[in-house]
Each structure stands twice: as structure tokens, then as C-alpha cells.
Structure 1
Amino acid sequence: MKFSIQPVLENEKHQLIPLQQGDFESLYKVASDPEVWSQHPNKDRYRREVFRTFFEGAMESGGAFKIIEKSTGEILGSTRYYDYDKQNNSIFIGYTFYGRKSWGKGINPQIKKLMLDYIFQFVEVVHFHIGKENYRSQIALERLGGQKIAEQDVAYFGEPTRTNFVYEIKKENWL
């Protein structure tokens, strides 16, 4: 089935808008806080040159978004769809980050719901890579119903390989 991994998605409060080259500076403003990356596998993404590589990977993925707060137009962070597997009818969601002012406000579950509701129209399984030390994201995904199914070394675009847990949510369990 043909579908887009970079549609515009929105709810009452937030929009996911396809990431564009011109978004680098405004997204880097959010990403330049070292605390944002403290539990992520690659903790130095707050550095401009490291974030530039992350951003290039986002652009090459063809599935990256900026997360916008509709009432202010402010960029809150970024997320993406990636690694669509037609044979296994699955896709990954990940590379998600938010600025600290968005933490603890229930934004991530709302964004994941938007993404899952959309993508489950086209796939049966969604996977997530989560760094083995990223406890905040592990808890958040388990609250959404994600099940840890594997441990995997992941080579991020232009970055060193890191150990991640693989979580999954199946369409039958989501709907």
C-alpha cells in the first residue's frame, strides 16, 4: 500500500510538519541544551557540529518532523518515521526529542498517539529504538503499551553504534 511517511499531522494543540533544511537553526535552539540529551545514547548532540549530523540524518530519512505548538508556533522538538519494512509490514518511530519546557506536560503521548493512529492505517507493527540508559523514554513507551522485544546495536547516521532496546506496539493492541 502506498502511503506517505511525512504527512502533516495535527491535533487540537500540536502539529507535526515535515522537517525542511531551513529549520536547522530553530530546531538547534531547542537541541542545544545538554540536558535534553542526558539520557540519549549520543549525549553530545547539543554540540552544533554533532547536531548538524543528526539533522542531516533526519533530512535523509524522508520521514522527519518538527513538532509545533499551535497556539504559539514554537518548535518543541522533533520526531520521525523510519525504516519501513514492506515485507514485515512494520515501521519505526523514533529519534524523538523535546526541549525541557515541554517535559512533564503530556506532549509526548499526544504526539505518539497522532503518529500511531496515522501509521496503523498502513502497517501492522511499529517498532522503537530506545537507548538502554534512556529510562525516561522507556517508561513513556511502556505507558503507551510498548513491549520490549530485543536488544540491538544501532549505528545512528554519522554517529557511533550504541546499544538500544527494541520496543514494539502491534496494531491489534493499539486499536
Structure 2
Amino acid sequence: MDRQPNLEGERLLLRPLVRDDWDALFAVASDKRVWEQHPMHDRWQEPVFREFFDDALAKGGALAIVDRNSDQIIGSSRYQDYAPDDGGSVEIGWTFIAPDHWGSGINAELKRLMLEHAFRYVARVNFRVGESNHRSRKAMEKIGGALTDETYVAQLPDGPAVHVIYAITRESFANGPLANMNG
């Protein structure tokens, strides 16, 4: 599976994240509102975000989200943990979008593009969401994510953080809310 494809939608271009994207992406990430419900609520700070950014580049799978109208980077997302066995699975996550694009349908277009690409290779896509991140949990439900009984505990500087796992299968995607979007 190509975890760093170029994907194009009506309003978005997704492309591999590169080191030169630092300034534009940090301009988005430095808005405290982006991280207020996230388990890593201090990621708006330069040293904390630098670690996140460097990790994204090192692991591969990171994409810059570019607004096609303005040609500006408005966020980032990743494909992680690709597992080809048993029909295959991959995780989509580490997504953040500039607050001025919240509620605009950008997240739905982003996830539709990423899911369409992923389902060429895998039968299931997982999403790991902080248990108390109600904004992201609501967004997952809106795009057809099904809450599983799986959890993940991340060891963070402030202590353990419980994450819940949502899943979208190839079949649920084909019959879900994103299947009817223009694209």
C-alpha cells in the first residue's frame, strides 16, 4: 500500500508531507483550539509539535492537507500501522485541520479520499481517538465510524491516556455516509 499518495478532491489536495512544510503546518498547529480536547493538549507548543512533525516524517505515511482554492496547507493526516494479513488493515489518524475549516465538510472530504485509497488495499480502516475527545468522536460517527470494543492506552508525559477504536470496513464505507459524496 502506498501510504503517501497524491489524492485530489473537489476542495482538497493531499500530498506527502515534507520537511519544507514545517512553517505552514506549525502555523495551523500553533492554534490552541486544535488540541484542546486532544490527549496531547500541549501540542500547540513548538517543541512538542516539532517532535510530532519529526515523528511523522520518520514514520512515513504523513500527508499535507492543501486547500485547492488558496493553495495553503490547512492540516495533516497519516496512514499508520499497515497490516496486509487477513484482508488487510491500516490506521488513519493524527489528523488535525485549521479551525477556520471546521464544520465546512473538509474532514468528510479528507476522510473520503483517504478511505477510497485505503480500500484498494485493505478491508478495514481503524481510527484511534482519545476517549475524552468528544469533537473527534462526533466526527467519527458522522463519517460512519463504528465504535469497537477495542481500546489503546498511550503512555503520555501527563500519564496514561485511553483511546477508543473506531472502524470502517470496505462494506460499511460502500453503504455509509461518505459513499454518497461527490468525488
Give the TM-score category using the shorter length.
over 0.9
Which letter maps to 2:66?
I
Measured after TM superposition, the shift of residue 154 of structure 1 is 2.7
Residue identity over aligned pairs, in percent, reads 39
Corresponding position of 2:100: 101
Listed one character per residue, the Cα deviations across residues 37-95 of structure 1 (whole Å, up to 9, x for unaligned) are 00111000000000000101111221001100011111110001000012241000000
TM-score using structure 2 length = 0.89
4+ runs of 1 displaced by more than 6 Å? none
State the AA in 2 paired with 1:106: G
- Structure 1 spans left out of the alignment, 5+ residues: none
Output the TM-score relative to the length of structure 1: 0.93
Q: Please list the CA deviations of residues 87-144 of structure 1 after superposition, one character each: whole Å capped at 9, or x if unmatched.
A: 2410000000011111111100110000001110110000000011111111111111
- 2:37 counterpart (31, 36, 39): 39
Instruction: Please provide the CA RMSD for this pair.
Output: 1.5
Q: Does 1:115 align with 2:114?
A: yes
Structure 1 residue 162: Cα displacement: 2.1
Q: How does 1:18-37 map to 2 (within 5 A)?
A: 18-37=16-35
User: Whole-Å Cα distance in 1 between the matches of residues 16 and 120 of structure 2?
Assistant: 19
Matched letter for residue 163 of structure 1:
V
| Alignment of structure 1 residues 19-168 onto 2, 5 Å | 19-88=17-86, 89-149=88-148, 150-155=150-155, 161-168=160-167
SS in 1 for 2:48: helix
**5+ unaligned residues in a row in structure 2: which ranges?**
175-183
